[in-house]
Structure 1
Amino acid sequence: MTQTSFWQDNQQTAQYAELCNALYERELAALVRGEFTSAVAIQHRIKSLPYYIKRTAHAMLQSQSPLDLDTVNGSWSAKQSVKMPLSGQEDAAIWQWYKSSKLRPGLVVPVALADRIILDCVDRLDKQGQGFRTNVCGWFREEAKPEMQNFQLLKPNKKVMMAACCGHSWQNNKKARPVIPTLRELLLSCAINWQNFKQSLFI
């Protein structure tokens, strides 16, 4: 082992420890605020934390993301746009993009809420090819009326995915304080293929 590689390994180990610590602090705070129906539910959540935190920290350090990694806060950072990046996100354009993609379970997709964009992933395809279901937001079908939902499926592009990864938020068409993405979203952010949004990376 050369002196250079030894230094790099030590730096990577320090960043990994710092990142794990930040993620643990955040998840424990979320557990305190959470509402659980039984002690068993919270026990299962705590039991799974080490696995998901270690996996997420490792994936974030190995990611080829164009975003800046903040190991102290356990988050991605990038310059925020003045308004939510919804240019070119008309219904027809969105579904044209998804129809031209060979969708597979696990594909990372962006979904717009009222004030921010979140990351979700495809977990089931409609047998007739009329839509798909995502893990958190449920079914999306072309004929469904957007006004009946409190969220909107978006087509991925660099600005949209960067905003989702960084937790950028807006209120009254003005920039607001970023929201820290969930542990699940952070893990999904590492599966984004920045060279081809129609395919996800294996993590």
Structure 2
Amino acid sequence: MTQTTLWQEQQQTNQFAELCNALYERELSLLANLDTDNVKAIQGRLQSLPYYVQKAAHAMVNTDSPLILDSQNAAWTAKQSRTMPLSGQSVADVWQWYQSSQLVVGLVVPVKEGSHIVLDCIDRVDNANNRFRTNIHGWFGVKNVETERCQLLKPTKKIMMASCAGHTWQNDAPCRPIIPSLRELLLSCSINWKNLKKPLMLKTTH
């Protein structure tokens, strides 16, 4: 084992620890401020938290991404464009992309929610009715690419980087980024940057 390899492993270990600390702090703060009386739901989320925090931290350290990892804040960073990168995102363009793709369960897709873009993933494909379902935003088809609360986008490198980094815009001007949820951070590590039509499998051990 070379000195360079040792340094890289130590660096990864330090990043992993920083990520875990930042993710725990953020998730516990969210749980503490939940407006709910459902104690069992809170207990369930607390029990599963170590698994998902460590899974996200490990994936973020080991993923091959064009984004810059901010381990102290458990976030991705990237240069933000002056306006939301929506060129080539008409309804026809978007649906043509999805129709020309061999859609698979687990594919990470971007969805515009007002001033920012979030990550979702396909959890069901209905070829008979020419539609698919995403985990959070529900069904999309040729006639409902856009709804009152959201708009399905086609994955592009600019769009995916903006969503991973939490970029937001208001009145056609960039605003302070928001931190994506733990779920979105996990999805960000499933993006295949070399082929956006095929998701990656996450490694679950450290």
TM-score normalised according to structure 1 size? 0.96
User: What CA distance in whole angstroms lies between the structure 1 residues aligned with 2:148 and 2:126?
Assistant: 19
Question: Which residue of 2 is the match for residue 160 of structure 1?
Answer: 159
Residues 47-103 of structure 1, C-alpha deviations (whole Å, 9 max, x = no match): 010000000000001110000000010000011011111000001110110001000
Which residues of structure 1 form unaligned runs of 5+? none
Alignment of 1:50-129 (within 5 A): 50-129=50-129
Residues 101-123 of structure 1, C-alpha deviations (whole Å, 9 max, x = no match): 00011000000011000000000
Cα 1:39–1:198 shift into 2, 3 Å: same
- 2:35 maps to a residue whose letter is E
- SS of 1:29's equivalent in the other structure is helix
User: What CA distance in whole angstroms lies between the structure 2 residues aligned with 1:139 and 1:31?
Assistant: 29
Whether contact under 8 Å (2:91, 2:145) holds in the other structure is no
Cα 1:129–1:202 shift into 2, 3 Å: farther
Question: Which residue of 2 is the match for residue 171 of structure 1?
Answer: 170
User: What CA distance in whole angstroms lies between the structure 1 residues aligned with 2:179 and 2:172?
Assistant: 20
- SS of 1:175's equivalent in the other structure is strand
Residues 140-173 of structure 1, C-alpha deviations (whole Å, 9 max, x = no match): 1111273x42100000001100000000001111
Residues 16-49 of structure 1, C-alpha deviations (whole Å, 9 max, x = no match): 1011101111111111121234110000000010
Shift of 1:129: 4.2
- 1:113 maps to a residue whose letter is E
- SS of 1:128's equivalent in the other structure is helix
User: What CA distance in whole angstroms lies between the structure 2 residues aligned with 1:5 and 1:91?
Assistant: 48
User: What CA distance in whole angstroms lies between the structure 2 residues aligned with 1:159 and 1:6?
Assistant: 34
Whether contact under 8 Å (2:107, 2:121) holds in the other structure is yes
Question: Which residue of 1 is the match for residue 41 of structure 2?
Answer: 41
Moved over 4 A (4+): none
User: What CA distance in whole angstroms lies between the structure 2 residues aligned with 1:127 and 1:193?
Assistant: 23
User: Identical aligned pairs, as a percentage?
Assistant: 57
Shift of 1:5: 2.4
- 1:8 maps to a residue whose letter is Q
Cα 1:145–1:64 shift into 2, 3 Å: closer
Q: Given the alignment of the two structures, is residue 29 of structure 1 paired with residue 24 of structure 2, yes or no?
A: no
- 2:69 maps to a residue whose letter is L
Which residues of structure 2 form unaligned runs of 5+? none
Superposition RMSD in Å: 1.2
